[in-house]
Chain A
C-alpha cells in the first residue's frame, strides 16, 4: 500500500547552496591540513604535545611539585559529565528560548499610539451596546 504524500507549497531544500559549499570547502581544507601535519609529525617522531602542557610542565618543575587539577575525574567520567551538563543546559535553553531571545510584541510592532487605545475603547463601547 502506498502512502500519498500531500503536496505542499514549501520550496524544495537546496542542499548545496553557496553557503554550504563554502563551509564544506573550508572544512575540507582544514582537515586536509591537520591530516598532512599529523602524518608529517608522526613520520618525524614528533609528539605533537600541546604548548599549554609543555609550559605547565616547565612551571611544575620550577615549583617542584606536580600540578594536578582541583577537580579531577578519572577516565571517561569527564566526557560523561560534560555530556550530561550539555544535555541539561541544552534542554533548559531550548525551553526558555523565546523568553531569552524572543522579541516581545510591543517592541516588534512599536509602542501603541494613544489614538489606537481610544479606538479600542470606542470599539468595546459599540460591542457593549
Chain B
C-alpha cells in the first residue's frame, strides 16, 4: 500500500493531504485528552507507534504467490490507543518510512495515510466495536478487526490508484486489476494479522488490563479479577 512518488496526480496528492490533516487534528485532541486521564498513555502511545512502524515495514514472504508483503498493525493500534490517535501515529510512521526506508513517497504520505491510517484503522475499529456489541469474545473480535483492517487498507490503496489512473477503463475493472496485484499475497498475511491481533490483545489484557480501559465488559472484568486472585 506504499504508493510511490510520481504516480498520483498533484491534485490527488493535495486532496489526500487535506483528508489526512482533517483527521490528524481530532487525533491530537484525543491524545491530549487521554494523556490527562492516564499518565501512562503517552509512553504507551510511543511504544504502539514503534510497533506500527515495525509491523508495517516488515516484509514477509508468502510462498503461495512467490512474493512478499507486510501487515499493517493499525487495527490493533486502534483498539488499544484509539482510532484518531492511530491516524496521528500512522502519519508519523509513513513519514519516516518514506524518508528513510524508501517505502512510499513524500508526496503520497497523505494518500498512504488515507489507506493505512484512516481506512484500515477505522474499518478494523468498527469491526471490533460491532463484534464486541454482539458479545463476541475478545480474541474473535480482535481477529476480525485485524483481518478487515488489513484487507480494507489494500482495497483503498488499489482504489486510490484506480481513481487516478483508470483513464478509459471502467473504474471497477481498473480497481480490481490493481487489487489483484495485492490480493493473493495479502489474504494469507491478513489471516496472519488476524491471529497476531488476537494473540497480542489477549496477552495484553491478561498482563496489563489497566492499560486498556474500556475494553473489558463488567462481566469480563470480574472474571479477570477472580482469575488474578486465584
A residues adjacent to B (C-beta < 8 A): 34, 37-38, 40-41, 44, 46-52, 54-56, 58-60, 62-63, 65-71, 78, 81-82, 85, 100-101, 103, 107
* CB nearest neighbor in A for B189: A51
The answer on a CB contact under 8 Å between A52 and B100 is no
Q: CB within 8 A of A60: which of B7, B177, B178, B186?
A: B7
Whether A37 pairs with B3 at a CB distance below 8 angstroms is no
Contacting residues, chain B, for A51 (C-beta < 8 A): 67-69, 181-182, 185-186
Given contacts A55-B157, A55-B181, 5 further A-B contacts (CB under 8 A): A38-B61, A51-B69, A58-B178, A59-B3, A71-B106
When chains A and B are docked, how far (Å) is the Cα of A37 from the Cα of B161? 30
* B93 → chain A closest CB, angstroms: 14
Within residues 168 to 221 of chain B, which ones have a CB less than 8 A from any CB in chain A? 177-178, 181-182, 185-186
Q: Please state if A78 and B105 are interface contacts (CB–CB under 8 Å).
A: no
Contacts of B157 in A (CB 8 A): 55
* Smallest CB separation, A116 vs chain B (Å): 22
Task: Establish whether residues B67 and A54, one from each chain, have CB atoms under 8 Å apart when the complex forms.
Answer: yes
| A98 CB, min distance to chain B CBs, angstroms | 11
Known contacts A40-B63, A50-B68, A101-B42, A56 near B7 by CB under 8 Å: yes
Contact residues in A for B227 (Cβ distance below 8 Å) = none
Which residue on chain B has the smallest CB distance to residue A66? B6
Contact B66 A47 (CB under 8 A): yes
**Chain B residue at smallest Cβ distance from A46:** B66
- Given A47-B66, A103-B39, CB of A71 within 8 Å of CB of B181: no
Residues of B bordering A, CB below 8 Å: 1-7, 39, 42-43, 46, 59-63, 66-70, 99-103, 105-107, 157-158, 161, 165, 167, 177-178, 181-182, 185-186
Given the complex of chains A and B, what is the CA–CA distance between A62 and B151 in angstroms?
Answer: 24
* Chain A residues with CB under 8 A of B68: 48-51
The answer on a CB contact under 8 Å between B167 and A62 is: yes
Whether A49 pairs with B6 at a CB distance below 8 angstroms is no
Docked complex Cα distance between A112 and B61 (Å)? 57
**Please, which residue of chain A has its CB at the minimum distance from the CB of B203?**
A22
User: A59-B7, A101-B42 are contacts. A50–B181 as well, Cβ < 8 Å?
Assistant: no
The 5 closest A-B pairs by CB, nearest first: A46-B66, A55-B181, A67-B6, A82-B100, A37-B61
Shortest beta-carbon distance, B169 to chain A, in Å?
Answer: 9
A37–B67 contact, CB under 8 A? no
CB distance from A3 to the nearest CB of B (A): 38
Chain B residues within 8 Å of A48, by CB: 61, 66-68
Residue of A nearest to B105 (CB): A70
Are the CB atoms of A78 and B102 closer together than 8 Å?
yes
Selected from A38, A49, A68, the residue in CB contact (under 8 A) with B67 is: A49
Q: Is the CB of A68 within 8 A of B5?
A: yes
Q: Are A82 and B39 neighbours in the complex by a CB distance under 8 Å? A: no
Residues in B whose Cβ lies below 8 Å from that of A69: 4-5, 102, 105-106
